[in-house]
């Protein structure tokens, strides 16, 4: 149906719960959430944040590549 109620079980449709996926959203992406993506491409107002523990820093200089025919290390 146009409201997407056929994508829910009977109990969820009767409870007026939102559907979890859109089969044919405006951008053609399966599983696009119900919230709108702003035209400027930003999903939220805050800048991206680093993870709480980014782990060790990368080696300087970077390690030499593995010889041909050997697995990378």
Chain position carrying tokens 């709108």: 36
Could you report the per-residue pLDDT of 26-58, keeping only the tens digit for each?
555 455 455 555 555 555 566 777 778 878 887
Q: Do the domain assignments include residue 66?
A: no
Domain that includes residue 14, residue range:
1-35
18 cis-preceded (ω within 30 degrees of 0): no
The C-alpha atoms of residue 11 and residue 16 are separated, in whole angstroms, by: 9
Q: Do the domain assignments include residue 5?
A: yes
Q: What are phi and psi of 12, to 5 degrees?
A: -70, -40
Q: For the chain, how many structural domains are there in total? A: 1
Q: Do the domain assignments include residue 22?
A: yes
Q: Do the domain assignments include residue 17?
A: yes
pLDDT of 69: 86
Q: Do the domain assignments include residue 50?
A: no
**Nearest Cα to 20, choosing from 2, 10, 33, 11?**
33
pLDDT of 20 above 80: no
Q: Do the domain assignments include residue 14?
A: yes
Q: What percent of the chain has pLDDT over 90?
A: 0
């Amino acid at each position: 149906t146009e409201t997407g109620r056929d994508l829910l079980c009977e109990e969820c449709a009767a409870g007026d719960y939102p559907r979890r996926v859109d089969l044919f959203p405006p951008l053609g992406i399966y599983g696009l959430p119900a919230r709108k993506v702003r035209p400027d491409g930003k999903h939220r107002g805050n800048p991206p944040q680093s993870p709480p523990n980014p782990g060790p820093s990368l080696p300087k200089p970077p390690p030499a590549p593995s010889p041909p025919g050997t697995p990378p290390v």
